[in-house]
Amino acid sequence: MNRRKFLTILGSAGAASALGTAGAAKAAGGTHTWPYYENSYGVLHDTTRCIGCRRCEEGCNKANGLPRPDKPFDDLSALDERRRMTPTAWTVVNKYELDDKPVFRKLQCFHCNDPACASACFAKCFQKQPDGSVTYDGSQCVGCRYCMVACPFYVPSFEYNDAWDPLVQKCTFCEPRLKEGKLPGCVDACPMDALTFGRRSDLIKVARARIKANPGKYADYIYGEWDAGGTAWMVLAPSASAVADEKHPLAETGHEFKALGLDTHLGNRPMGELTAGALGAVPMIVAFWPVLFGGAYAISKRRDALHKAETEAVIKEARDDMANAMDAAVRKIAETQGPGVADTARQAMAEVLKTREEACANCGHHGEDK
């Protein structure tokens, strides 16, 4: 392979890489990283029905064989504090205030249509399954916790207390139970059908029907229909009188959801789209940079080798020429003045040559240094 051939290959590889990255960026703007599964399941959480009994927490605990919590599930004082999900409590119910009335909301993984955790994970631990669940496989997990940073709902939790093989834990949508044809543990346990299980597309219709059939009862918004690119779990909130102040004379849409601790400014595009372009280039860099720099190194190495060989050849030629001339001169002296004088002359000439070569080598080094 000569230099031109190598550069041609490198150039075309670079162009392909650039095209690939551009393609990924384009895909990020238009389509999703994960396909939208038409028949995927979801759960509609109707907070107007939720009574805060913590049965869902108990159901989750039992279905997933998690350790018993410090406070038993029928101790409702747990609702007095705002809790977050932990590695051993994949769902928690929190109490919020709306119009001075308590409203309860269950927190768990929203199982996004296009999950941010999956887009942030370079070990590809997270998968959006066709049944709607976002599953985690810890066998490749390196414990970087990028998924926890990426999740807009603060869902994944990390086993900080495990020194040897800490993993990320989160709600699984009871995917193993779904495969057996069972309901998720929490949904099964809910005594109020505040959690309604069904196909996501059906649940959106159900939610709209509820809003329409009960004028004034619900906030006219389905949280999760579009938020963060759409989620499998969706939330309905009770309508509440908006507090309009001078700055906001018209009440903001979805202020009820804000009161329930839900971020209404996530936008309607998947979180992953923001980073897919940049992160899509990472494998490309990992694959091509060794080739690129290795190639550059090889070229310069080869150039040095060629240069050295050329120089040596020239020096050898010059040395041979000199030796031949010396031999001719010595032969001439031997013919005219006898072999004794010839020997002396040969010695003298060899010494002069040696000194000159040394001087030349020195000047040559200087030249290279410059």
Partner 1 sequence: MRNGTTLLLLAAIAVAGVAYLTLGDAGPAPAAAPALTSVSDAPSAMVIFPVGEKPNPEGVGMKPVAFNHLVHENRIESCESCHHTGDTVACTTCHTVEGRAEGKFVTLAQAMHSPNIARQMQENTPQSCVGCHTRQLQQQECAGCHNVVKPARPETYCNTCHKVNGLTKADMVAGIAGSLPDDRNAELAADTLKARENPTQLQPTDGPYKVMIDEIADHYKASMYAHRRHVASLMERIEDNSLASAFHNQPTTLCSTCHHNSPLKGAPPKCGSCHPQRINPANPERPQLKAAYHLLCMGCHKGMNVARPLNTSCVTCHKHSEARLADSAAATLGGE
Residue closer to partner 1 (CB basis): 40 or 119: 40
Residue closer to partner 1 (CB basis): 95 or 346: 95
Cα–Cα distance, 205 to 89 (Å, whole number): 31
Cα–Cα distance, 146 to 281 (Å, whole number): 17
Which of 326, 365, 361 shows the shortest CA–CA distance to 343? 326
Q: Please tell me whether residue 223 adopts helix, strand or coil conformation.
A: strand
Residue closer to partner 1 (CB basis): 38 or 70: 70
Closest contact distance (angstroms) between CB of 192 and partner 1 is: 5
Q: Please tell me whether residue 330 adopts helix, strand or coil conformation.
A: helix
Residue closer to partner 1 (CB basis): 119 or 239: 239
Closest contact distance (angstroms) between CB of 207 and partner 1 is: 10
Closest contact distance (angstroms) between CB of 206 and partner 1 is: 5
Residue closer to partner 1 (CB basis): 44 or 150: 44
How many beta carbons lie within 10 A of that of residue 6, not counting itself? 15
In DSSP terms, 336 is beta-bridged to none
Q: Which residues bind partner 1 (CB under 8 A)?
A: 41, 44, 49, 51-53, 68, 70, 72-74, 76, 183, 187, 190-193, 196-199, 202-203, 206, 209-210, 213-215, 217
Closest contact distance (angstroms) between CB of 70 and partner 1 is: 7
Closest contact distance (angstroms) between CB of 67 and partner 1 is: 9
Residue closer to partner 1 (CB basis): 76 or 318: 76
Cα–Cα distance, 43 to 118 (Å, whole number): 21
Measured in degrees and rounded to the nearest 5, phi and psi for residue 278 equal -65, -45
**What is the amino acid identity at position 278?**
A
Closest contact distance (angstroms) between CB of 196 and partner 1 is: 5
Closest contact distance (angstroms) between CB of 83 and partner 1 is: 17
Measured in degrees and rounded to the nearest 5, phi and psi for residue 252 equal -75, 140
**What is the amino acid identity at position 302?**
R
Does an H or E element contain 113, and which?
none
Residue closer to partner 1 (CB basis): 114 or 188: 188
Q: Where are the alpha helices (DSSP H) in 115-199?
A: 116-120, 146-150, 175-179, 185-189
In DSSP terms, 106 is beta-bridged to 93
